[in-house]
Structure formats: structure tokens, C-alpha cells
Amino acid sequence: MTVRRCPALFLTAPASHQGKTTVTAALARHHRSQGRRVRVFKTGPDFLDPYILERASGNEVYGLDLWMNGEDDCRARLYQAAADADLILIEGSMGLFDGTPSSADLAGLLGVPLAAVIDAAGMAQTFAAVAHGLASFRPGLAFHGFVANHVASERHAEMLAQQLPAHLPLLAALSRDEAARLPERHLGLVQAREIADLDERLDRAAAQIAATKLAAPPPPVAFPAVEQPVVPPLLAGQRIAIARDAAFAFVYPANLETLVQLGAELAFFSPLADAALPDCDAIYLPGGYPELHLETLSANTALKADLHGHVEAGKPLYAECGGMLYLLDRLSTRDGDSASMLGLLPGHAVLQQRLCGLGLQQMAFPGGALRGHTFHYTRLETSMEPIARATRASGAGQGEALYRRGGLLASYFHAYFPSNPVVAASLFLS
């Protein structure tokens, strides 16, 4: 079996909101500034953190999830990255042991050493207890060390490290720095393209890491080769128009890669700025933040006419989450702002204070099943009856609904196309 070796580190935490993304991005930026080629991966379904990590590292960021991707897909992407990377970083999701599968499951399977980021604000010697718990809860995980975040002073850092044994070192004690903080909104981090001073924030965070033990390259990890099935050119000769702008940016790079492997030609357009569709055989409306751009989307009547013409001609249109909201009669925010949308699907969605859908799911499309996830804050009221419902990867309760109108398919569900490229192709064929 062919094996490639590359230094690698898995950044995790005891919970969300500990600073994993900032630390991972800062570490990637530090090594990139030293002339190293850094490849970063994100655990679990995520559209926002990868764009921050991409800006920090200078390379595209792919997701890794043992259920959604499958083990072979995860291993194949890491093997490919190890071919020319000087460092591989993997950012975990939520807490180390949260979810099924968890970050711990992935790190243990891959044999990648862990560095846990712990928010140390309001904590002293208890830091060591949390660290001990993370390191000992599941035997067999390799721990490289710990990162204390939001440290108040040098004395505070000394107290945090007091009870840590030599084999669980404090790799870095990072102070709170609002100028390096990554801003957030209701779905998570603000999109990278919307943070005007993102590079300055990343450089500032990287400077904190430069003088710490965290900056030293981690040990090399062996990544074995995985044979991947050949993707048939089912979309050869097909041109797919894909919405891409500040309102519609939630798409896995692996999805676009799969469409190209299937033989499709991709053309991109902006529902916010373009008055016409590109010449195309099918349309892909991914998720995003249409609720932040209600007036602009509603006012683009020229593009609305083109989209209506496409659907009325029976051509395929596939829409996910925010893309589906754009198809509705109306979309409203929690503050009462409301605007008409495309009117291609009957219904009205309203942004809520709390999450309305979350988790890994599998959707049975007309051509077969795709794996993916759901994550949204809107509640939909529609007269349409779904043609199918997704099933959850774990837990009880109904999955997301799938709606159909002619060649149009729409759902809150976000599909991961590499989980079944043949079914992915069927979404864009008449």
C-alpha cells in the first residue's frame, strides 16, 4: 500500500465557541507566512469556517465527515493533500466527543495528534482538570498538547499550566484580542468576503502564535492511498448555471468538483447583480443568506423573468435551503422585514430566533439517495406536499421535505454530491 507522510495536527476543543477556527486559521497563516504549503480541512458539514481557513492558508478547504463523506472519501482527500503539503491541519467541530461520528472518531481513525483549544477566561487550575478529562476520556487518542485561549496575563498562564504533566504541554497561552476576533451572526461566522480587514485580523492572530510551542511543526502522520471509483461522464455536454454571491455562497467545493468530474461545464451568476441567466441547461441554487438581501433580490425582476422561463420550459433547477427560500412567494426576517421572492414555489418562510433544523441526513431523491445535512433558522409554510422526506443519521423525528414542480427540486437539505455522483447528476438532467 502506498503511503504519504506529512506533519499533521487536529485542532479540537471541549465545546463550541472556544476559538478553534481563529486558532486554526492563525496557525495556518503563520506557517504560510514562513513559506510552507498548508492544507486545512474542516470536520463535519460547514460552509462558513472553510472560507476563513481558505483565506488563511491560501488553499481550498474540504470537509471531512465519516458519515457524510464516508471513510474512503476522507482518506483519499488527505492522501491527495499530503502529496505536496508541508503541513495538514484539521479543525474539529463542536466539542471533541460531540456528535455521531465525532471529531474524536475521525482523529482516532486517522491517527492525527490532537491539540485542544480551551477558553481559559474565568479559569485557573481547573484548566488542567479539563485537559486531563479530554486526554483520558477515550484511550488511544494521541494528544500533542493544549492551547489556552483568552488568557488575561502571564501569571494567569502560569496558573493554567501548573497541574499539566509533561506529556500534556501547554503549547500556547493566547490573550484576548478584539482586533483579531472573527465576527459572527445567526448562522455562525460572518462570511470571509464580508470581513474587510480579515487579512489584518489573521496576521494579528498569527503573530501571537509565532513565539509559542504551537508554532513548531507537529509530528508526521502516515496517510495511505485509497482507490476511488471512476465517476462516469453523465453530465457531458451539460452547462450548469450556479448562483454565487454574498446571498448564495453555501456550496461544498467537493460538489463543484464532482459536477466537473461528471463532465459538466459550470457557469456562475449573481442573483444580486445579474439581470440575466447565463446560457445553461440546468440551474443550481445553493444556500446562503437571502434574508440579508431581501430588497435587492426582490427588485431584480429581469432575472426573475429568466428563472421563470427556465422552469416553465421544464429545465432542471435544484435548490438547497437559502436557494429554496429564494424560490418562494415571500421571505421575512424576525424583525418583520419582508419581501416577495421568485414565486416559483408557493410558500412563505420566516426567520426564527432558534434553530429549526440541524443535523446529518440522507435524502431519497427520484434517482436515489444522497447524504448531507440541514442547518437553518427559517420556518416554512407551504401548501405543497413533499414528494419525499430525508431520514436522520441518528435520533428520532422527521427529516427535511423535498418539493418538486416539474423539473424543479427544492429542500432545506444540503446534499454532498460525492456521496453518490450518479444521483447528483440526475438532479441536473431532464
| Helix, strand or coil, per DSSP, at residue 341 | coil
* Alpha helices for 163-281 (secondary structure H): 198-210, 253-261
Residue 134 to residue 107: CA distance in whole angstroms: 13
Strand runs labelled E in 214-356: 220-224, 239-243, 265-269, 282-285, 317-320, 330-332, 338-340, 348-351
280 is annotated as an active-site residue: no
Helices and strands in the chain: count of H runs, count of E runs:
12, 25
Q: How is residue 364 written as a grid cell? A: 431519497
Residue 290 to residue 304: CA distance in whole angstroms: 14
Catalytic-labelled residue, pool 6, 74, 280, 321: 321
Strand 143-151 and strand 170-175: pairing?
A: parallel
Residue 340's identity, in one-letter code, is S
Q: How is residue 301 written as a grid cell? A: 425582476
Beta bridge mates, 11: 91, 115
Q: How is residue 280 written as a grid cell? A: 445553461
Residue 37's identity, in one-letter code, is R
Q: How is residue 73 written as a grid cell? A: 472519501
Beta bridge mates, 185: 188
Does residue 50 have a cis peptide bond before it, meaning omega lies within 30 degrees of 0?
Answer: no
In this structure, how many other beta carbons lie within 10 angstroms of the beta carbon of residue 257? 15
Backbone angles phi, psi at 298, to 5 degrees: -65, -35
Report CA-CA distances (Å) from 411 to 204, 285, 402, 405, 408: 40, 11, 5, 12, 10
Residue 368's Cβ-side half-sphere holds a number of Cα atoms within 13 Å equal to 10
DSSP 209: H
Just list the catalytic residues: 321
